[in-house]
Structure 1
């Protein structure tokens, strides 16, 4: 069996953003009903600081501001730009994410190189948190623009590129261009 290298399988693209965020990664998944129609993420104590860290890193790197949404208002409250076009990238987007999670004592005792059990969030929940944070950072107006997504969940000892020495994420974003004729 031969080894393969994972790389974004996308048409010609221009890298717009590359950031490294250190912190406790949190997946965005289950919602809890708090009554009165109010829903919150069941892990919001960890999720909100993680998404904020990503948003702040992206806005610093791009020189943008976080979109300020007000219910039933079509424009960003900070700059007046329409919410539907509030972002650096218009059109299709490719995103690559490497999430480094904490290695539990049990995983260390077993010698696990990959977080393949229920001690961390599902990889798609991690991706959802990152994509929403990038949207909040005005990288793109809507995470529905993401047409290519590569996400890896690793321990600090997992032998793959972009693994961090402590929990966090390496995030790259490309604007997908039109292939040359």
Structure 2
């Protein structure tokens, strides 16, 4: 496979974007307090990488976005006493179940990440993302997972080969 057009590692707890809550005055606000810090972390990591590429311009063509989100395990997954710090055998391998702060929806994690990539100037708009592959994993449980919460993000250009002229 070719090299990705863009590749970063982001450190911080991934925050989902999309669920809104109304306050007493009727104004809408993001339900997750993790959205803003996550978007800032993605934007900052992207800008750090882009600062070394003076010729970069936001991707305008169709792209494939691949993200491996590394989520922290809930405290309930760990033993106590002499088993403190060890994952219980009964703990789930994957972050599934009803969405909450420990198990956000993958599509909402992608939404906040894509918006941050747009804000950083990696993408001209999130509408250029035509293919996606996203994984949610716990810390150190698979390929591209980190030793702490965050994400590994790769973007490939999807160039359509030109037809050979006859």
The TM-score, its normalising length taken from structure 1, stands at 0.72
**Preserved CA contact (<8 Å) 1:18 1:173:** yes
The structure with the larger Rg is 2
Shift of 1:49: 0.8
Give SS of 1:95's match: strand
1:18 is matched with: 7
2:132 is matched with: 149
Shift of 1:179: 1.9
**Preserved CA contact (<8 Å) 1:17 1:62:** no
- 1:57-84, Cα deviation, whole Å (9 max, x unpaired): 11111239xxxxxxxxxxxxxxxxxxxx
2:37 is matched with: 49
Shift of 1:106: 2.6
Q: Given the alignment of the two structures, is residue 60 of structure 1 paired with residue 56 of structure 2, yes or no?
A: no
Give SS of 2:48's match: helix
Give SS of 1:15's match: coil
Q: Distance in 2 between matches of 1:37 and 1:13?
A: 49
Give SS of 2:5's match: strand
Q: Distance in 2 between matches of 1:37 and 1:58?
A: 35
Q: Distance in 2 between matches of 1:138 and 1:123?
A: 23
What 5-or-longer segments of structure 1 have no aligned partner?
1-11, 65-86
Q: Distance in 2 between matches of 1:52 and 1:59?
A: 10
**Preserved CA contact (<8 Å) 1:99 1:151:** yes
**Preserved CA contact (<8 Å) 1:95 1:174:** yes
- 1:25-56, Cα deviation, whole Å (9 max, x unpaired): 1111211234777432111x311011001011
The TM-score, its normalising length taken from structure 2, stands at 0.78
